[in-house]
């Protein structure tokens, strides 16, 4: 199952109502291995009581090179499987929420052929166009679907430090923008993607441990109970890591849920390796960094008092890869990032599934070795295991980044929905 340096291990991703038997062996500093201990058996409970939220990110830049539009959510059959969509991203600048890409959001004209409902946009004064109008039409087809506007992200998180200096003013600006009369009916709430409070991402934040909690409290006070208030948060489960840098436990009372970004743990941002899966569910022997796995993050957040039902497990609809690799097993050296369609070291699942099919699994996710390239990504089979984990842990559901990485038929979304029920 695993190798540990201590005397405990939490086994995860198990099937419900199933008997499991365990034994242990001891290894000393010289590498001598003992015989197996006596065995102990335990039977898991019936299916976990987790929620079935299924949230996907729609990125505004997807309408350009990727040619992915709101209509694709409908034609792929995915709209009926989703419970929530996060629209990414709004900007955070000058201590305020601000529009990101105005043209994509409400300026682009959609023809009848491109439109969700087969009706073209108009140029009438005051008429809404762009992604916002298409989302409005998608919600009309799926009345239970909720849409949140996500602010920040990797590129625009640098503005949160200034926002945290005056949380009330920030919250007021966000409410005014999200509830602008031109698109007030499109959005059901706000999502904050601060990467990372009191820690380093693209830039380093020094606003203090309490800043994130205070910001979320201000947003809840301004938006009130009728709106959804959520946040995408770090999944760094290491001791003294990013989860420990901010008061996620204290902020939990103000949010409907956290999107725990349980991906991007490892990748070609370390160009020489070692190769390792970017979204491991659990630890494994040889993992490059302790605490860099989904279960470690979930258990740490639970330990800080975050209710399991307010945690959504993250799935990446893409792979991360290296080139110059000479071994198929994880842990190999590399010479750099593998080529990708839009960015070196990253590729969509819909491309990788045929270009570099999975050759193995480790830590509850898949990896692929083809030629001299090594990729890791989730498949329908590993997603099924992760959804079992989410249910067994009583999580609120799962989310993914992002819609355009799936196949035209919504293969990964289908696996997530099938696993969540």
Residues annotated as catalytic (active site), given as ranges: 195
User: Distance between CA atoms of 48 and 32, rounded to whole angstroms?
Assistant: 39
**Tokens for 167?**
């949380």
Q: Phi and psi at residue 318, in whole multiples of 5°? A: -155, 170
Q: List, in sequence order, every residue forming a beta bridge with 43; answer none if it has no partner.
A: 19
CA neighbours closer than 13 Å in the CB half-sphere of residue 126: 1
CA neighbours closer than 13 Å in the CB half-sphere of residue 392: 20
DSSP string, 169-188: HHHHHHHHHHT-TTTTTT-S
Please check whether residue 298 is in contact with residue 313, taking contact to mean a CB–CB distance below 8 angstroms: yes
User: Distance between CA atoms of 9 and 5, rounded to whole angstroms?
Assistant: 10
Q: List, in sequence order, every residue forming a beta bridge with 258; answer none if it has no partner.
A: 231, 311
DSSP string, 270-303: STT-----SS-SS--TT-SSTT-SHHHHHHHHHH
Assign 335 to helix, strand or coil.
coil
């Amino acid at each position: 199952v695993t190798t540990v340096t201590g005397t405990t291990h939490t086994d995860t991703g198990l099937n419900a109502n199933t008997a499991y038997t365990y034994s242990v062996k001891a290894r000393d500093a010289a590498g001598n291995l003992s015989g197996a201990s006596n065995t102990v058996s335990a039977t898991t409970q019936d299916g976990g009581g987790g929620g079935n939220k299924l949230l996907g990110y729609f990125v505004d830049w997807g309408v350009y090179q990727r040619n992915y539009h709101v209509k694709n959510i409908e034609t792929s059959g995915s709209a009926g499987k989703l419970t929530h969509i996060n629209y990414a991203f709004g900007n955070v600048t000058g201590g305020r929420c601000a529009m990101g890409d105005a043209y994509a959001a409400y300026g682009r004209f959609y023809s009848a052929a491109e439109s969700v409902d087969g009706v073209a946009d108009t140029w009438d004064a005051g008429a809404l166009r762009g992604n916002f109008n298409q989302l409005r039409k998608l919600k009309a087809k799926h009345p239970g679907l909720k849409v949140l506007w996500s602010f920040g992200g990797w590129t625009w998180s640098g503005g949160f430090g200034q926002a945290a200096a005056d949380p009330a003013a920030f919250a007021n600006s966000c409410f005014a923008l999200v509830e602008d009369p031109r698109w007030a009916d499109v959005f059901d709430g706000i999502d904050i993607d601060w990467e990372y409070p009191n820690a380093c991402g693209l830039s380093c934040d020094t606003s203090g441990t309490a800043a994130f909690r205070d910001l979320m409290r201000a947003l809840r006070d301004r938006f009130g109970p009728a709106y959804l208030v959520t946040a995408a948060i770090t999944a760094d489960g290491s001791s003294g890591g990013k989860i420990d840098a901010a008061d996620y436990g204290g902020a939990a009372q103000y949010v409907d849920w956290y999107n725990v970004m349980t991906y991007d743990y490892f990748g070609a941002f370390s160009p020489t390796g070692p190769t390792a899966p970017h979204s491991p569910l659990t630890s494994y022997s040889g993992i490059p960094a302790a605490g860099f796995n989904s279960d470690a993050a979930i258990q740490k957040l639970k330990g800080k008092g975050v209710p399991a039902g307010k945690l959504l497990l993250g799935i990446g609809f893409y792979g991360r890869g290296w080139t110059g690799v000479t071994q198929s097993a994880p842990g190999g050296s590399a010479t750099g990032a593998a080529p990708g369609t839009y960015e070196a070291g990253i590729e969509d699942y819909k491309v990788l599934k045929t270009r570099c099919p999975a050759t193995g699994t480790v830590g509850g996710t898949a990896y692929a070795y083809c030629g001299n390239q090594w990729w890791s990504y989730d498949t329908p089979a590993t997603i099924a295991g992760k959804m079992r984990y989410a249910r067994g842990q009583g999580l609120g559901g799962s989310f993914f980044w992002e819609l355009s990485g799936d196949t035209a038929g919504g293969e990964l979304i289908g696996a997530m929905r099938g696993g969540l029920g």
